[in-house]
Structure 1
Amino acid sequence: MLKSLRDNGAGAHIESSIRLYYSPGACSLAIHIVLEELNLPYRLELVSVAEGKTAEPRFLGINPKGRVPVLQIDGSLLTEAPAILIYLADVNPEVALLPSTKLERFHCLEWLNWLSSTVHAVNYGQFWRPERFTNDSSQFESIVAKGKENIISAYRHIENGLTGKMWSVGGDYSCVDPFLLVFYLWGSAVGFNMQIDYPEWSLHAERVLSREAVRRAIEQEGLSFRLV
């Protein structure tokens, strides 16, 4: 069952009803954080991936892709984390979650597309969902191993991309940074030694986690974490 969890305070440019379909700790966490950053009025609808709720008919009627996040704005639905993050940042420019220069804005899109399409869909897909890549169960173990190898390679790229930087794009916090936090927390959850192997990313994660909006979203999702 979809469960409404929370209404958030008074909003800015989006005055209409906003609803976020999410699963705790999934990539929808980044959208949840951004909604808190923007101080928009919204409702949360829990659709637990762990409990298989995204595959149930009721949710498939909302998003036939069977994935979170889904953002509902009045009668319209928007799916895919990069599209939602860019949308929310773009319609609330006063909060400056997108850089002011065109090139840096497209660097945000570059980060978001790669994180979603490659790191999430392919690398973590191989690691967590080998059945999506073959019907031959005898190949699952090798696909999982390759997925882990690909995640490590991607994480090294992220580490290099954050080296010497306060934030991922330009000099200011953007909608990319909470999305990077999601993958950092996933790495910690699957047993990577994030602080040892990715020290620059760990510093970045600490900066993101120090923000009040981030702490509120994590608390609302009932998550616990530690930087390891």
Structure 2
Amino acid sequence: MGYQLYYALGSASMGVRVLLEEIGAEYELIDSTIDRSKPRPEGQLAVNPNGWVPVLVWDDGAMYECAAITIFLCDRHPEAVLSPDFATPERALFLQTLVYFSNSIQNAFQLDYYPDRFADTRDQESSAQRRGLRRLRETWQVIDDQIGDNEWLLGDQFSAADIYLFMLTTWLKPERGQPRVEEFANVKRIANKVRQRPSVQKVYA
């Protein structure tokens, strides 16, 4: 089964592409952009009128939102063993962590990068950005504490959650006042291991 992935460098679509590589699925990349001043492909907007990537399309369906796509692909390709079995306690932690990434860490990035979405006036945008920088440290610390001494984010088994973690670490920009990944030793340890995987080497070359 093949997929089309609306794709832009520096976006969450890169994490989905790594996942497709890990699965070994056939896929086609359709160039898009995260530059809000540039137009998006019509096919992308037909699925996601917000204009964001990733958007994943397959024979009889389409969807957006990185966390949702991650869960969907893991469930659709159980042979890749990229998510915990439904009957295990780790399954709940897997779902919790992906939603936390999407709702908390990605939201903190948005506060910094797109403060106009959270402020009524231009004068209030700097306050939104400051809150975003604080939230980035707070939310990454939660994940660092969650990892603890684990081999991987969820425990002993590599999963799509580790791919998602790595993807988010690549967004950190200390020059903007965002934390350095080195501030979170456990996060950095996991990210360094994920970076060595052939799928990541290909996508993030």
Shared fold per TM-score greater than 0.5 = yes
Structure 1 stretches (4+) deviating beyond 2 angstroms?
50-53, 55-62, 100-103, 188-193
Query: How far did 1:133 drift?
Result: 1.0
Structure 2 counterpart SS, 1:187? coil
The amino acid of 1:107's aligned partner reads: L
Identity %: 26
Q: Is the 8 A contact 1:162 1:201 kept in 2?
A: yes
Match of 1:110 among 92, 96, 105: 96
CA separation of 1:162 and 1:182: change in aligned 2, threshold 3 A: same
The amino acid of 1:210's aligned partner reads: Q
Report the TM-score when normalising by structure 2: 0.91
Query: How far did 1:192 drift?
Result: 3.0
Q: How far apart, CA to CA, are the structure 2 residues paired with 1:184 and 1:130?
A: 20
Match of 2:195 among 168, 192, 209: 209
Q: Is the 8 A contact 2:147 2:186 kept in 1?
A: yes
Alignment of 1:69-88 (within 5 A): 69-88=54-73
Query: How far did 1:51 drift?
Result: 6.0
Q: Is the 8 A contact 1:19 1:44 kept in 2?
A: yes
The amino acid of 1:214's aligned partner reads: V
Task: Kindly indicate whether structure 1 or structure 2 has the higher relative contact order, using CA contacts under 8 Å at least 6 residues apart.
Answer: 1
Query: How far did 1:169 drift?
Result: 1.0
Does structure 1 residue 147 correspond to structure 2 residue 147? no
Residue aligning to 2:29: 44
Match of 2:166 among 177, 181, 184: 181
Structure 1 counterpart SS, 2:172? helix
The amino acid of 1:215's aligned partner reads: Q
Residue aligning to 1:172: 157
Structure 2 counterpart SS, 1:186? coil
Partner deviation per Cα, 1:157-213 (whole Å, 9 max, x = no partner): 111112211111131111111111111111256553322x11111111111001111
Query: How far did 1:40 drift?
Result: 0.6
Structure 2 unpaired stretches of 5+: none
Aligned length, in residue pairs: 201
Report the TM-score when normalising by structure 1: 0.82
Structure 2 counterpart SS, 1:29? helix
